[in-house]
Amino acid sequence: MTLLVMGLSHHSASLDLIERAALDADGTRGLSRAVCSGDHVRESVVLSTCNRLEVYAAVNTFHGGVADVGEALAARVGVDLHDLTEHLYVHYSDRAVRHLFEVACGLDSMAVGESQILGQVRAALRRGQEDGTVGRLLDPLLQQSLRVGKRAHTETGLDRAGHSLVEAGLDGVEDVAVPLERARTLVVGAGAMSALAATTLQRLGAASITVANRTAARAQRLAEAVGGSWLTLDDADALVAALAEADVVLSCTGAVGHVLTEEQLLAARAGRGDAPQLVVDLGLPRDVAPEVGALPGVTLVSLRELGERLAGSGTGAEIDAAREIVVAEVDSWVAERRAAEVAPTVVALRSYARDVVTAEMDRLRARLGADLDPRTDAEVAQAVHRVVEKLLHTPTVQVKRLAATEPGGASYATALRELFGLDITDVATVSDVLRSVPPDSVTTTGAAPTATTEDES
């Protein structure tokens, strides 16, 4: 098995298409199970965020895996595969590992360096573990990606490299509404992004924070954490009153359909007069009806505008340092996996040598019988054992080194099996991952995926 990644993100598709493809937790589970039902896929996990939908799959073959994942992806998001293909990217083997590590570090995010993606990767892994769609390849690989992401944020200034989406949405708030220290704010939703919004508002000194959520308990918990007040979204009058009071509204619920409508904002505007209002929509699908942006006094900022604001933010020494960590971690992962692949051959070779020594010693004992005293028996057995160990030392060390460092290094293990007639079917494998293939990168922009070299990706 080896790793295949297929998906679409803000790099390859419009936010309108990403919005159409957005999946909730149940949707990602359904897609993951559908992918695993393919003939060429053994494991899968789905990562769905506000700016990406990706399938990570352990596949037996590249072309079969691409077909299985592509068909399941198109069926689940309700977009014709032909129309979807031109927006998809595909990575395979080493390049797929690198992509995952970059995603976990926040290097591939709209807000470069953001750390919320770590929680999203962790949640995707947990769903895969609960559903049994991750196994010997994806489970350790995703766990390693979390460690790489943490390392990048700990050892570099990556957190400072780019604004979070929340901070980007608040840029220039004093120009369109009021200075944040005088702003009354409303946070709609109580999930991870909404919690980030609330804590960011608290850190930046917002005058007041109100949390509105469908579930009262979660709204209350988040509000108490930031010293604010709360209400439930099903209390229509309270919601309109909170909207009327708020100078700044940040919404991110993940709900299907608009949570804040033109009618609600019109009613709220009646209570605000000419007072300006900033509404930041961080939801995907969108929480706020687009018509709200045309209302007098309202400035609506959506993910599309945030993407434009954040374009080109992935530069600087911090980004370079994080990328160096990713490259080193990918090299280490691939080397370990390739070395692990030859372990069954090494075990089989040593077992074969032990069997030969045992057989020859048994034949010697049978021929000499009583003439072979115990001390001589032990000395001969020890001498033969040392000879065999010396003969095996160099080839076993070299085959591990070559497998870990040379492209196609596993071919040396294959040669050993052929030369000695080794059967590894009964040998317990260390891992069944990342079969030795060239470190290909595959990127598609159009109907047919084409393989490229690492340097071309």
- Identify the CA nearest to 301 among candidates 317, 320, 282, 284: 282
Residue with tokens 């989406």, as numbered in its chain = 165
- How far the first Cα of the chain sits from its last, in Å, is 22
- Identify the CA nearest to 13 among candidates 89, 103, 78, 81: 89
In single-letter form, the type of residue at position 31 comes to L
Tell me which of 36, 50, 105, 252 is the catalytic residue: 50
- Identify the CA nearest to 48 among candidates 23, 29, 84: 23
C-alpha triplet 219, 304, 222: angle, nearest 5°: 10
Instruction: Report the C-alpha gap between 349 and 413 in whole angstroms.
Output: 10
DSSP 91-112: EETHHHHHHHHHHHHTTTSSST
Beta-sheet pairing, 184-188 with 248-251:
parallel
In single-letter form, the type of residue at position 30 comes to G
- Other Cβ atoms less than 10 A from the Cβ of 33: the count is 16
Asked if 252 is an active-site residue, the reply is no
Instruction: Report the C-alpha gap between 400 and 416 in whole angstroms.
Output: 12
Residues forming the active site: 50
